[in-house]
Structure 1
Amino acid sequence: MANFQVFDPTTEAKEQALAYVPRPDSLRNLRVGLVENTKYNSDTLLVKIAAILEQEYGASSHILTRKHNSSVPAHQEIIDEIKANCDVVVAGIGD
């Protein structure tokens, strides 16, 4: 009989303090940043959300950015673009 060794790939979750910025009272005239994670239909979903935010809540515009892949945080270029051009952000998933 062969020797088998079982490896457990799980890790302990790191605890991190989260600090949320205050939500705006309104979206009127605010610029919306959309961060999509490359999963199927995430871009379509986010564009539909942006249309609703603009038509029904008065957001002035949106930009859509795309992460390198779904398993990583947004890369620095996305963060810089959103900080420079957006007032609020929606991160979306697909599948």
Structure 2
Amino acid sequence: MKDFNFELKEVKHLARLARLKLSPSEEEQFLKDLNEILKYISKIQEVDTEKIEPLTYFESQKNVFREDEERKIDYDRKLLLANAPFYDHHMGHFKVHRVFRK
């Protein structure tokens, strides 16, 4: 990536694709930021990685699954339900606020 720089027309095109409305000062700031990112990338590309093995998986621990099992816990039902403001004691279920409206 040799001396590639974004131009203002490309920033405007990217903003349009992303459906962003940018002010002229924001466009200038994005232009500056994108060109700084490109400079950083070109520095990274200068690093000699010829003798370095590719890294495909860096996490040594694997996902540990456990069986789902029922556990009995000691709790005070009234104390737990006191934290549920919309519990219907007669029906035995929780009420929640409506999410969708017609």
Same fold (TM over 0.5): no
Normalising by the smaller structure, the TM-score range is under 0.3
Of Structure 1 and Structure 2, the greater helix share is in 2
Q: Which has the higher contact order (CA 8 A, sep 6+)?
A: 1
TM-score (norm 1): 0.21
- Larger Rg belongs to: 2
